[in-house]
Amino acid sequence: MSEIEELESRVQNLPKEEFTMFRDWFFEIENEIWDKQIASDFNAGKFNQLIKNAKDEFAQGKARQL
């Protein structure tokens, strides 16, 4: 049995309260990883073209301020 299969089995057999705690922890970790990736991509300039396009569309009246 692989580690993933073992984890799947263990998670499926958790009592409801412990599963809820695990799920909340997992979502928190997943969100932290996502936030770090977004920050890294932003710092690397990967959003620069999207930001420029949005500003251009706003200036052309194709978008409105929220």
Measured CA to CA, the distance from residue 14 to residue 18 in angstroms comes to 6
Residue from 56, 38, 59 nearest 47 by CA:
38
Residue from 57, 37, 33, 58 nearest 47 by CA:
37
**What residue segments make up the domains of the chain, in order of their start?**
3-59
pLDDT at residue 37, rounded to an integer: 98
pTM reported for the whole predicted model: 0.67
Q: Where are the beta strands (DSSP E) in the chain?
A: none
Q: Where are the beta strands (DSSP E) in 7-55?
A: none
Summarised one tens digit per residue, pLDDT across range 14-62 is: 999 999 999 999 999 999 999 999 999 999 999 999 999 999 999 999 9
